[in-house]
Chains A and B, each alone.
Chain A
Amino acid sequence: MLNTRGLALEVRLSAYLDGELGDQERKELDDLLTRSDEARHILDTLKSGSAFGNTAFDDFLKDPVPLNVVRRIKQGSASVSPATERVVEARTSAARTKIWPRALAASLALLLVGGTAGYIIGSKQVIDIAPAQTATAVSRGWLDEIADYHRIYASQRDHMVELDSDEKPQIESWLNASVGVPFRIPDLANRGLAFQGARLLVVQGKPVAQLMYRDQEGDVIGFCFLRNTENTTVTDPKEDIRDDLALISWKKPGASFVIVGPSSDASLQTIAADIAQDI
């Protein structure tokens, strides 16, 4: 315990307020406070300053944390210097705005070349090219739509899902039949996630299963998948960020999967890895 004798009264009373003083000194100040208006006034001032500061500093916790920091921690890429990374990100961002017209032009050119070539070679090849182009468009856009759906449904208190968690057998048979991807509802209780239920989404004309979980902090984590007959390979989970949401997506022959949740949730990668192993 501290000895504050000889220090300014406000310093002693401040330590008294924090319970940092020994019994004897605390009693000494108790006595002083019963006798001295000035001491009581100082103590009241210290208390009101504490309360005001607590409220003000608590408000800082509501400020958003830098997304790039969250992302880097989750991905564990600690080798990049912050200054370099910021520059790289700024360039990437600037470049992205300039590149898309070129990309669009290139896509149109490819489409034209492909279509023309297909026309020249024969109608069968034209049909072969079209699904590949469609698949590319779907794989680029479906994560954005999943993020949009998640933002809407995760905030629904009473209507987050179509079928509740107590209807697991119905959910499995319904979504198996509707989506065309055989699955069992993953049990993520060991990850602190409680299954809430499921709903069927439509993303770019395709049925998508959406299973919803809630973690111990109340955040909602979604697990979505759709049939993707064009895909014949297995890919490792990779992370995409859409503002406040992180999407960990991967593919298996015939299907695409994604875990979606708050970008600040560092466990999403592990959850995705667990599911990818089991499903």
Chain B
Amino acid sequence: MNAAQVPWAAWLLFLAPVSAILIGMFVVRPLKPEWTHLPILASCAVVTVCALLLLQRVLMGGSFDLNFYRWAGVGSWGVDFGLRIDGPGVAVLSMVAVVGSLIHLYAASYMEGDPGFSRFMLVFHLFFLAMIGLLTANNYVQLYLFWELVGAASYLLIGFWYHKESARKAALKAFLTNRVGDFGFLLAILLIIDSFKITHFHLLYFLVARATAAGHAPQFLPAIGLLLIWAACAKSAQFPLYFWLPDAMEGPTPTSALMHAATMVTAGVFLLVRSWPLIAAVPGLPDLVAGIGAFTAVSSAIVAGTRKDLKRILAYSTVSHLGLMMLALGLGRVSVAIFHLIVHGFFKAALFLCAGNVGHAIHQPTANVDEVGGWRKALPWTYVFFVAASLSLAGIFPFGGFFSKDAIVDAAMERGGLFALSGLLISAGSAFYIFRMLFLTFHGERPEQKGLSAHPHESGSGLLAPVGLLALGAVVIGAARPVVETLVAGGWTALPVGIPGYAQTMNLPGSTEIPGVALKALLIGMGMAALGAAAAYALTMVDAGWDWRWRKSSPALERVFDSDFGWKTLVDWFARGVSSLADFVGRVLDKKWWDGAIEGSGRVVQAAGSLFSDAARGRLNEALWWMAAGAALLLALGAAR
């Protein structure tokens, strides 16, 4: 296949956002900044159509992987730009396109009137473009490029309201933590180049499969796998690098919805999916992934149940669900992980936008549990959408979440041991925190809350329609299960490669099936969810003031949860230590010692010079003496010879 045969949909996928951004930045923004959303929304529509067209194409077997342009090369290796349209990529791409477009629509109404409206829309769309690039990259270096771009957009959007110090700090924290992960990613890429000499996915899959089949896996493969996992932990907010995500809620709600729920944070999981043949080839790494995922999922689910800020509850929920995706991947269920990624995108985006509407009702960026209460009559539509999305999250049949989440729990149960336990805990825990949030916000009259005295009012249709569509998606997405299964099954190949024995050596790591409705999953999953929901009901409705009481009676316990079981304190201490080390290096080592040494060397030379200047006074006798001494020396040398 050559460049001429690439479907125009693939070109448009990039051309539309790029032209929208350029037009928006150079034409619309100077003239009429409040119209910046128009070219951008148009581009969103085009991208969605193209994504769905490509989806259809891949389903019919038309996936491809093509190099277009070598930007810089050294010998046989180079930085290539290419396109890889294959199953997993196009599945996630469709979700990103649909969810992203709806959130763009929401943002156009939500950010209306904000002085930075134009800037927001442009950076938001830049992020969208970067995400598309990340999903269609055909080699690690290109993926890294877009990975970084996504991180940069995240920084710009978290710190959007830059006059707020908390926003600035949160943006920096997110960026720097991601940087730590990106360092690992870079090392992994360098090791890949060293071991395999190329970074293209399809060639790498082949080489790894062949090497492990022959029994001599490359020496650095475990290191590569670990570093890629490290990078994914930073981007997808897993333990130990997850702590930036709750603070990232400082950004406007559309940002939180798109980046930190549906798309950017899933880039880490996507990286692992792309790298799965490499990681699965190392014994023990999949278990590590599963372990990290399970641990993160359980601990952040517990913390989510104790948060008071609505968006932060959802942030911890995102961390927990990303952990679930990692767990699925680690247990070998690649399709299930991708399916959950897609489903999660829908219901989490819907939940975030509902939280945005709740805040909007009282003219705030976000809302605290103290400021709301019993609003289901005041915000009827938001309430309905919230309930739908919550049921999906809790994994209740027949909502979408059931098919993905309970499949993961099922896999964990099959595996047994700690994984089974964590699966059960997550089922119960996620139901608990989401229903707690529901009940505290929309039900009950509690004296500790402001309740209806805050005079909330429902948002306009511009803010409701996208949420509704997302909630609808969260409900029905379960039907897409067989589609995703088909897509992922063809995922590691997706190209006409003239390497003999290519298909045969492709040993797909893990299974690509997504189980359908099974009685066992139904009972266990829904059972635990019901347990969680009941607990939430008991602790928020029956005992209405419980949530405030335990905080007052044991403030130490609250501190434990506030610091994420002490992890945040540890990270803080570590960061302070590193920054004081940097201060020491910069101030003492660099300025005092090094600069001092360099200047001191000049002083040494000066001193030596003044020492010898005595000899150059011009005294005749001295000169003669030196002559005589020199002659004596030469004589001695001559005699010695």
A joins B in a complex: no
